[in-house]
């Protein structure tokens, strides 16, 4: 088994390389993805090794990138589009929700759109305006799109390959502040490995309360669980991984045991993913709950200036405070 210690960013790079090697129809396109290797260097070296016909530097025009990719997908290619930053995706929003999401349904199943839209998302890197958004709810709400997010290098490596191999359009959200975090990666892991693309995962077992998170907040919640254990409270942490479709089977099982649930994400709370998760947990586990399902989220404001973003982002203390409140009812 070829196992290496890689950053999450390098694991994505390796996964994309494997996808390009395995299927000649895979093409990568986006702003600065070629010679520069992307602003986060996720595509570093790929144009050099696979050529500028498969790793394509595009004009600065997100709607053009996605629109071109739709045409390529219809013709049998598997385009992987990089949106340079989360806040830059909105010029392409019409293409994504009107064409990418609906073409299969509109054609009564005759046309598939096997494409991946990679979006670095979330805050925590001290960036300027439009560089720290969490737009997942927009896409998870749209029928016809699949939305996933990785939280560690192993998942990054496998999930990006699974997304490229999917015959459905996948919005692939990458937690940018976790790009440099390292972990063990099995480079021989099959795409049908332990967890399919749309499955959640228990990342820390516990007995006292269930904490649900995804993307950048998984590490925060694991740190909170470590801190809680010092006080004798064992938190079960579940990485949702897939935001559409949602896999809540392991969450239901966990909440029926613990009786308490906290949902954590960076995006604003109003109509966020946490609201949907909390509603489903309440519907399915009502008679097991010892307290209401609580949410820890970003605030319902535009993302703030970098100097105060730590006041905006959910942190260990806010997660532990919510857990404490579930025991106070």
**Crossing angle, helix 249-258 and helix 273-285, to 10 degrees?**
60
Buried residues in 315-326 as b, exposed as e (16+ CB within 10 A): bbebbbebbeeb
**Confidence band for 189, pLDDT divided at 50, 70 and 90:** confident
The per-residue pLDDT of the chain, averaged, comes to 96
- My answer on whether 208 and 166 are in the same domain is no
Is pLDDT at 1 greater than 70 in this prediction?
Answer: no
pLDDT tens for 254-274 read: 999 999 999 999 999 999 999
Angle made by CA atoms 220, 182, 241, in degrees to the nearest 5: 55
Is 194 within a domain?
Answer: no
Is pLDDT at 100 greater than 80 in this prediction?
Answer: yes
Is pLDDT at 193 greater than 90 in this prediction?
Answer: no
Is 191 within a domain?
Answer: no
> How many domains are there within the chain?
2
Averaged pLDDT for residues 132-157:
97
- My answer on whether 170 and 220 are in the same domain is no
Inter-residue contact 124 to 309 (CB < 8 Å): yes
- My answer on whether 13 and 53 are in the same domain is yes
Count of helix runs (H) and strand runs (E) in the chain: 12, 14
Please report, for residues 215, 244, 250, 313, the alpha-carbon distance to residue 195 in angstroms, rounded to integers and kept in the order given.
16, 16, 12, 29
pLDDT tens for 47-79 read: 999 999 999 999 999 999 999 999 999 999 999
Considering only CA atoms, give the Rg of the chain: 20
- My answer on whether 239 and 163 are in the same domain is no
Is 110 within a domain?
Answer: yes
- The residue from 186, 216, 241 where one domain ends is 186
Is 271 within a domain?
Answer: yes
Q: Is residue 130 annotated as part of the catalytic site, yes or no?
A: no
Is 19 within a domain?
Answer: yes
- My answer on whether 126 and 205 are in the same domain is no
**Confidence band for 191, pLDDT divided at 50, 70 and 90:** confident
pLDDT of residue 49: 97
Q: Which helix (H) or strand (E) holds 5?
A: strand 3-7
Which residues are within 8 A (CB) of 33 and not within 5 positions of it... i.e. 6 or more apart?
43, 46, 47, 55, 56, 57, 58, 82
Is 308 within a domain?
Answer: yes
- Three-state DSSP class for 205? coil
**Confidence band for 294, pLDDT divided at 50, 70 and 90:** very high
Count of residues making up the chain: 329
- My answer on whether 180 and 235 are in the same domain is no
Angle made by CA atoms 28, 32, 34, in degrees to the nearest 5: 50
**Which one from 131, 141, 198, 265 is the annotated catalytic residue?**
131
Buried residues in 253-271 as b, exposed as e (16+ CB within 10 A): ebbeebbbbbbbbbbbbee
Rounded CA gap, 169 and 148, in Å?
Answer: 11
pLDDT tens for 228-251 read: 999 999 999 999 999 999 999 999
User: What residues are paired with 116 via a beta bridge?
Assistant: 80, 170
- The residue from 186, 220, 244 where one domain ends is 186
- My answer on whether 55 and 172 are in the same domain is yes
Q: Residue 67 belongs to a domain with what CATH number?
A: 3.40.50.970
Rounded CA gap, 256 and 250, in Å?
Answer: 10
- My answer on whether 176 and 33 are in the same domain is yes
- My answer on whether 207 and 164 are in the same domain is no
Averaged pLDDT for residues 130-145:
97
Rounded CA gap, 184 and 187, in Å?
Answer: 9
Rounded CA gap, 83 and 41, in Å?
Answer: 13
Is 302 within a domain?
Answer: yes
pTM of structure: 0.96
Range of the domain at 253: 201-326
pLDDT tens for 123-134 read: 999 999 999 999
Inter-residue contact 113 to 163 (CB < 8 Å): no
Rounded to a whole number of angstroms, the distance between the first and last alpha carbons of the chain is 49
Q: Residue 249 belongs to a domain with what CATH number?
A: 3.40.50.920
**Confidence band for 110, pLDDT divided at 50, 70 and 90:** very high
Is 192 within a domain?
Answer: no
- Beta strands across the sheet bearing 235-239: 201-204, 235-239, 209-213, 261-268, 294-298
- My answer on whether 19 and 153 are in the same domain is yes
- The residue from 117, 152, 186 where one domain ends is 186
Is pLDDT at 327 greater than 90 in this prediction?
Answer: yes
Rounded CA gap, 209 and 123, in Å?
Answer: 27
Rounded CA gap, 33 and 44, in Å?
Answer: 8
Is pLDDT at 43 greater than 90 in this prediction?
Answer: yes
Averaged pLDDT for residues 89-115:
97
- Three-state DSSP class for 92? helix
**Confidence band for 290, pLDDT divided at 50, 70 and 90:** very high
Inter-residue contact 30 to 38 (CB < 8 Å): yes
- My answer on whether 101 and 52 are in the same domain is yes
- My answer on whether 212 and 180 are in the same domain is no
**Confidence band for 190, pLDDT divided at 50, 70 and 90:** confident
């Amino acid at each position: 088994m070829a196992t290496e210690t890689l950053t999450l960013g390098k694991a994505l790079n390796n996964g994309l390389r494997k996808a390009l090697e395995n299927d000649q129809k895979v093409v990568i396109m986006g702003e600065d993805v070629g010679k520069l290797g992307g602003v986060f260097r996720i595509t570093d070296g790929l144009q050099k090794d696979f050529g500028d016909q498969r790793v394509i530097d595009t004009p600065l025009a997100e709607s053009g990138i996605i629109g071109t990719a739709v045409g390529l997908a219809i013709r049998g290619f598997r385009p992987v589009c990089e949106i340079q930053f989360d806040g830059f995706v909105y010029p392409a929003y019409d293409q994504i929700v009107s064409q990418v999401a609906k073409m299969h349904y509109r054609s009564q199943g005759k046309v598939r759109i096997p494409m991946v839209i990679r979006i670095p998302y979330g805050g925590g890197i001290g960036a300027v305006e439009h560089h720290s958004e969490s737009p997942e709810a927009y896409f998870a709400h749209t029928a016809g799109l699949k939305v996933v997010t990785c939280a560690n290098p192993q998942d990054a490596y496998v999930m990006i390959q699974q997304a490229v191999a999917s015959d459905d359009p996948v919005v692939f959200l990458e937690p940018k502040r976790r790009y440099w975090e390292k972990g063990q990666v099995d480079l021989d892991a099959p795409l049908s490995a332990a967890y399919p693309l749309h499955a959640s995962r228990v990342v820390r077992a516990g007995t006292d309360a269930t904490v649900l998170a995804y993307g950048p907040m998984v590490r925060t919640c694991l740190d909170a669980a470590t801190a809680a254990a010092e006080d004798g409270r064992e938190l079960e942490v579940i990485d949702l991984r897939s935001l559409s479709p949602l896999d809540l089977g392991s969450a239901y099982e966990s909440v029926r045991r613990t009786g308490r649930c906290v949902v954590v994400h960076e995006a604003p709370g109003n109509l966020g993913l946490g609201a949907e998760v909390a509603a489903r947990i309440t519907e399915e586990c009502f008679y097991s709950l010892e307290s209401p399902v609580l949410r820890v989220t970003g605030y319902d404001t535009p993302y703030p200036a970098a100097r105060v973003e730590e006041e905006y982002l959910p942190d260990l203390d806010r997660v532990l405070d919510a857990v404490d409140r579930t025991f106070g009812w």
